[in-house]
Structure 1
Amino acid sequence: MNTATFLEILTVAEKLKCNTRHSWTSSGRHESVAEHSWRIALMALLMRDEFPDIDMDKVIRMCLIHDLGEAFTGDIPTFEKKEEDSEKEDEIFFKWISTFPAPYRDEFTDLLKEMNERQTDEAKLYKALDNLEAVIQHNEADISTWIPLEYDLQFTYGSDKVEFSSYLKDLKKEIDQKTTEKIAQTNKA
């Protein structure tokens, strides 16, 4: 890839550092899309031993690119996002990556298609991590940043995505326990 193209791609990707998510960090500021993507990639890296038959390099690549479309659209919280929002984001993302030089154009296109279809274990794991990280982040944020619907959403979000793995089901139970403790502490105050 020539250096000009390389820098153009990074310039677009940099917007993920600027675009914030609905989630808050433990220090009291909005989380960026880039921070979320980085952490799910780290989660995948740390789970290599739990999933020895999964191509974790592919999962990490999925995690790193999964929200690149949000460089153009911004983040829409899951409880507000509609099918047409997802379709628009994918359309813009596919259009952008069609300008990439081969083999990156083909790789990113194939990864996004696989992620959207969610038929492979790699795609299922990436999506579970995407959902679980959001719940973990909410638990790390001050509960005053939660909106009323998130008290239930903390327990339901991602539950369907972990069903294929006993490890992920155990992780979700642990996260749910942390949520229960957080809510209980708030109710005592």
Structure 2
Amino acid sequence: MSPQEYLGIIHCIAGLKERTRHAWMKSGRQESVAEHSWRLALMAYFLRDRFPDADLLRVLLMALLHDMGEVFTGDIPTFEKTDADRAHEHAQRDVWIASLPAPFAAEVRALFDEMDAGATAEAQLVKALDRMEAVITHNEGGPATWLPLEYELQHTYGTADAAFSPVLRDLRAAVNDEVDAVIAALPRTHHDC
């Protein structure tokens, strides 16, 4: 790969830092796709002892690359994203993958095929943690940043994705405890009746 090809890839990936997500951080600014992916990778790393048979390098690469299509389409919240949006994002992502030089095009294509199929422990782990990271970020941002439908979504988003693993089910239950605590800390409106 030439230095120019390398820099072209790096400049394209920088789009992950520039694309904001639906979630707001506790600092009061919107989270970037890159920040979400970075924390997702670290969440997976710190669970490596609980998933000793998982290929950590593949897990980390999946976590870092999983939202690469959003460089081209932006982030669309899960409750708004349509099948047409997903197809467009995947098509844009696939054009980017095909433009990568060898051996990266084949390696990245294989990672996305694995994630899209969702059949391996690595792909399932990344998907479950991807959903949990979003819920955790929403908890940190607080209910002032939530839409009304997110009160329920905070309890349900990704629960089914975590069901394959006792470790992830326990972690998701702990995240739900945080959701409950965040909601319970909201000021209550008192009405005189």
Please report the TM-score for the alignment, with normalisation by the length of structure 1: 0.98
SS of structure 2 residue aligned to 1:61: helix
SS of structure 1 residue aligned to 2:75: coil
Aligned pairs (5 A) from 1:78-117: 78-117=78-117
2:146 alignment partner in structure 1: 146
1:136 alignment partner in structure 2: 136
Q: How many residues align?
A: 189
Deviations 1:138-184 (A, max 9, x none): 00003211110000000000001001100100000000001001101
For 1:187 and 1:86, the matched residues in 2 are separated by 38
1:43 alignment partner in structure 2: 43
For 1:132 and 1:58, the matched residues in 2 are separated by 19
The one-letter amino acid paired with 1:23 is: A
Which shows bigger deviation, 9-18 or 147-156? Answer: 9-18
1:124 alignment partner in structure 2: 124
1:20 alignment partner in structure 2: 20
Q: Is the 8 A contact 1:28 1:142 kept in 2?
A: no
Aligned CA RMSD, in angstroms, stands at 0.9
The one-letter amino acid paired with 1:31 is: E
2:64 alignment partner in structure 1: 64
Q: Is the 8 A contact 1:98 1:105 kept in 2?
A: yes
For 1:96 and 1:185, the matched residues in 2 are separated by 45
Q: In the TM superposition, what is the alpha-carbon distance from 1:99 to its structure 2 partner?
A: 1.1
2:11 alignment partner in structure 1: 11
For 1:69 and 1:5, the matched residues in 2 are separated by 19
Q: Is the 8 A contact 2:142 2:182 kept in 1?
A: no
SS of structure 2 residue aligned to 1:23: strand
Q: In the TM superposition, what is the alpha-carbon distance from 1:187 to its structure 2 partner?
A: 4.1
For 1:61 and 1:96, the matched residues in 2 are separated by 16
Q: Is the 8 A contact 1:131 1:157 kept in 2?
A: yes
Please report the TM-score for the alignment, with normalisation by the length of structure 2: 0.96
Deviations 1:99-155 (A, max 9, x none): 111110001101001101100111000100110000000000032111100000000
Unmatched segments (≥5 aa) in structure 1? none
4+ runs of 1 displaced by more than 6 Å?
none
SS of structure 2 residue aligned to 1:144: helix
For 2:172 and 2:97, the matched residues in 1 are separated by 34
Unmatched segments (≥5 aa) in structure 2? none
Percent sequence identity is 49
For 1:3 and 1:127, the matched residues in 2 are separated by 33
